[in-house]
Structure 1
Amino acid sequence: MIKTKEGTKAIAEMVVNCKPEVVACYPITPTTGVATELNQYYADGLLKEYITVEAEFSAISSLVGASAAGARTFTVTGGQGLLYMHEVIVSIPGMRLPIVIVNGNRAVSSPLNIWNDEQDSILQRDAGWIQLYCKSIQEAVDSVPQAFYIAEKAMLPVMICIDGHYLTHAVEQVDVADAKAVDEFLPAFRPAMKLDPENPVSLGVYANPSYYQDFREDLVKDLEGSKKIIVEAGKKWGKLTGREYGLVHGHMAKDAERVIVGLGSAMDNAIAVVNELRRKGEKVGALHIRSFRPFPREEIRAMLAGKKVGVIDRALSVGSQAPLYIEVQEALAGTNAEVSSFYGGLGGRGIKRVLVADLFEKLKKGPSKGWIASSGKELPLK
């Protein structure tokens, strides 16, 4: 059903329609709205269990126990809250617990900033979680049931990453699939193994040097293998709703000579600029990377080989090169692609259409690296 809703409220409604058995939250900007909405749904009898905790570390720890016992679980956080969860975050994939998190992307301290960039989730990129980045509220809402589907089939946790404020607090017309439609898509969670007094098992136990690396090798293999499940979930959801999602979304990228690549809502501006420049006869395109983990190397290589590529990073790897740029450059090695690195949009600083248009101009001159400008007159759209 199409409704006009704020992003956080639309996400909360979809979470309820997925019937999680245990939700544990500690509210933090910019996702407080999701936590408070879910608390109200619990008060109204529409959620089985909502645990009010004193901190994010407790929220994620509560879900470890619940998920290990066989429950479908969910939490929401962002920024410093996600960082506070880190010790538990890195343990969850190895225990094969299909926990789902919605992370409202937010800058990290210091200095203190509650606005949007992608530094918080990028810092978790090597933890072993599936990470899905959304460019719109509709995509974020649609990614919730898909995340449960993917997590519970791959037996790996999923982090849905949405731009704080730009998506969490925006109000749009959104199609929120009802519980009946979600039931058709998402089967009940029936784990092959769980903590059960009648059939005792142990999770997360000690592994000595003879075995530890084997466990990590299996995790690497299974995370890579989850690509097929992500694509499968997207196609199945597409048949149900008409909105299909995959590992990447290319917009006029196939025949483009210059392509802007990025994560999250900034890519909607990139798509708008592509449409305008195409009307002027310029062969440009955009590529939104939805699945940052597992990283879609083959898809990127097939789509961008030999092109002039500009990568927008809204996160830093201090002391090295920008995180997404490193990944894209590696994927395109040996293809004659010219890859440029543009980083900025930090702490809520917007990446306006005029700035994206300027990046397309820079690509004409060959590979370059640098900060994205912080101001500029907006590019009018016809």
Structure 2
Amino acid sequence: MSIREKLSGNEAAATALRQMNPDVMAAFPITPSTEIPQYFSKYVSDGRVDTEFVPVESEHSAMSACIGSQAAGARTVTATSANGLALMVEELYIASSSRLPIILSVVNRALSGPININADHSDSMGARDAGWIQLYSEDNQEAYDNLIQAARIGEHKDVQLPVMVCQDGFITSHAIENIQLEEDEDVKEFVGTYNADEHLINKENAIAIGPYDTADYYMEHKYQQNRAMENAKKVIEEVAAEYKEMTGREYGFFETYELEDADYALVLINSAAGTAKETIDKMRAEGKKVGLLKIRVFRPFNRDRLVELLKDVKYVAAMDRSETFSTSGGPVYHETAAALYPETTKPEIISYMYGLGGRDVTIESIESVFNDLMEIEETGEVGERYRYLSLRE
């Protein structure tokens, strides 16, 4: 039976990790994710978990320790943000290529510089090709639910990949919302016990992790990672179905809102989806056929499902909270455009950069995007395909 609570996104994440009762947490503090290991260390000192908490001197060390413990057969978790995630990047590739299902709670924050501690997605998007599964969370509830599912997804025998669960810094991490928690025992049963088939301290089957990979084998190992990511698509759906059975809450690769008959749609991730839904309600009341496609799973990217969901939409705005400096759009735009490119019939797609460094996202600003799409239809002129939203002159 669900328990009604009021928690910040950080405390919701820490609670999910506590209920998981991992073997090891290795962490280093960084705003705005600091509260997650802070809460968790108290759970350790209070005896509420059996976890070994490893305080380290940097985020690079945190992920290094996670790799060591997971390689030894221990379920391992950590948390970070922004520059901390950037400092982990070298180790992220090692974790994924070594097929270690570490769980990482990422509280999205702009990368410096200039120095900024507010929400955008430059940190996790900078690591989008590191071989990690990436789940994104609109609100505190979704952050909690995604973390619980992450263990089952990453540890599945056909996957064996690390998972990062992302939420927006301060917007959800520090905001208190009503949330439904599951009973500790139910989460424990759902997640199960982690039993690695192969690990470093199994003297009956000695293995090496991280040896030099020659040109004769490197491509094959990358292909195996690719196949594991492909396998994750089915596993993500299976785990979501089981989670719905336990909680009544439904998750998929995408969430749609008023998309079925929409002529104009937004594609975006994380907390701005809430503002988009409010905007859509307002504009629907005015008779405008607008809708939303929210991406929950960015890696693996489900191209086929995205194409199916957008097949009847005429105009799409792909919204990015992370700059690539390609001068042609952000990661969400590039993935969406690439997915749609082979289709004979496809919507007109415009790239919008928004909310960088915590810039406010309002109903008015989202409404202006829809109005831009309507203007394109009315005039027949696309104009600038790569736009900055709410940019000061």
- Range class of TM-score, shorter chain: over 0.9
Cα distance in structure 2, aligned partners of 1:144 and 1:302: 27
Q: 1:179 aligns with which of 174, 180, 184?
A: 184
SS at match of 2:375: coil
Q: Does 1:286 align with 2:286?
A: no
Q: 1:188 aligns with which of 193, 205, 225?
A: 193
Instruction: Quote the residue 2:32 is aligned against.
Output: 30
Instruction: Please list, as runs of the form range in 1=range in 2, the aligned pairs for 1:1-382 lying within 5 A after superposition.
Output: 1-47=3-49, 48-153=51-156, 154-195=159-200, 196-307=202-313, 308-321=315-328, 322-333=330-341, 334=343, 335-366=345-376, 367=382, 368-374=385-391
Question: Offset at 1:306?
Answer: 4.3
Q: Which amino acid aligns with 2:370?
A: F
Instruction: Quote the residue 1:379 is aligned against.
Output: none
Question: Offset at 1:320?
Answer: 3.9
Cα distance in structure 1, aligned partners of 2:261 and 2:46: 52
- Give unmatched runs, 5+ long, in structure 2: 377-381
Asked whether the equivalents of residues 14 and 177 of structure 1 are also in contact (C-alpha less than 8 Å), the reply is no
Asked whether the equivalents of residues 7 and 177 of structure 2 are also in contact (C-alpha less than 8 Å), the reply is yes
Cα distance in structure 2, aligned partners of 1:313 and 1:360: 15
Cα distance in structure 2, aligned partners of 1:128 and 1:373: 33
Q: Comparing 84-93 with 176-185, which one deviates more in the overlay? A: 176-185
Question: Offset at 1:374?
Answer: 4.4
Question: Offset at 1:256?
Answer: 0.7
SS at match of 2:115: coil
Cα distance in structure 2, aligned partners of 1:291 and 1:44: 35
Question: Offset at 1:206?
Answer: 1.6
Cα distance in structure 2, aligned partners of 1:213 and 1:111: 38
SS at match of 1:200: coil
Cα distance in structure 2, aligned partners of 1:45 and 1:187: 20
Asked whether the equivalents of residues 4 and 171 of structure 1 are also in contact (C-alpha less than 8 Å), the reply is yes
Q: Comparing 76-85 with 365-374, which one deviates more in the overlay? A: 365-374
4+ runs deviating over 4 angstroms: none
Question: Offset at 1:183?
Answer: 2.2
Cα distance in structure 1, aligned partners of 2:113 and 2:106: 19
Instruction: Quote the residue 1:380 is aligned against.
Output: none
Q: Which amino acid aligns with 1:373?
A: S
Cα distance in structure 1, aligned partners of 2:298 and 2:175: 24
Question: Offset at 1:299?
Answer: 1.0
Q: Which amino acid aligns with 1:213?
A: M
- CA deviations on 1:176-225 (whole Å, 9 max, x unpaired) are 21211102311211111111233211112222111110110111121122
Cα distance in structure 1, aligned partners of 2:99 and 2:346: 39
Instruction: Quote the residue 1:378 is aligned against.
Output: none
Cα distance in structure 1, aligned partners of 2:281 and 2:304: 26
- CA deviations on 1:61-100 (whole Å, 9 max, x unpaired) are 1111110111111000000000010110111111000000
Q: Which amino acid aligns with 1:299?
A: R
Asked whether the equivalents of residues 349 and 374 of structure 1 are also in contact (C-alpha less than 8 Å), the reply is no
Cα distance in structure 2, aligned partners of 1:246 and 1:15: 21
Q: Comparing 66-75 with 271-280, which one deviates more in the overlay? A: 271-280
Cα distance in structure 2, aligned partners of 1:114 and 1:75: 19
**Identity among equivalent pairs (%):** 36
Q: Comparing 334-343 with 119-128, which one deviates more in the overlay? A: 334-343
- CA deviations on 1:9-30 (whole Å, 9 max, x unpaired) are 1211111101101011111100
Asked whether the equivalents of residues 9 and 139 of structure 2 are also in contact (C-alpha less than 8 Å), the reply is no
SS at match of 1:142: helix
SS at match of 1:91: helix
Asked whether the equivalents of residues 12 and 143 of structure 2 are also in contact (C-alpha less than 8 Å), the reply is no
SS at match of 1:287: strand
